[in-house]
Amino acid sequence: NAGVMQNPRHLVRRRGQEARLRCSPMKGHSHVYWYRQLPEEGLKFMVYLQKENIIDESGMPKERFSAEFPKEGPSILRIQQVVRGDSAAYFCASSPPAGGTLETQYFGPGTRLTVL
């Protein structure tokens, strides 16, 4: 059973470009979470999604950031018009269907975004 997959592992963008980060959850998992980790800092929750639904986006910046988890295919975290401050590691995690409270999350290896 493959783990959570993220691609690309490394992404370089120039200021003003768009960044698209993909996350494929573990087989059988229908919940996806995105986190951001700035250098030398802890993980910061961004968004929690189920298939075709955003459950909690309280950690998402109000502008330029969006996330989706379509019925088919991976979850996508999209950052428009990237700025240098967006440079960070972005981690995705998935968990199986649950009763609504915190479930064990399994993390991917992360995508390291560098904005030049």
List contacts with another protein (CB under 8 A). Answer: 4, 33, 35, 41-45, 48, 56, 58, 89, 91, 93, 101-102, 104-110
SS3 86: helix
**Residue 19 or 94: which CB sits closer to another protein?**
94
Q: How far is the CB of 16 from another protein (least distance, A)?
A: 27
CA distances from 34 to 2, 7, 15, 18, 116 (A): 19, 13, 22, 17, 23
Only one residue has tokens 């995508």, namely 111
Q: How far is the CB of 43 from another protein (least distance, A)?
A: 4
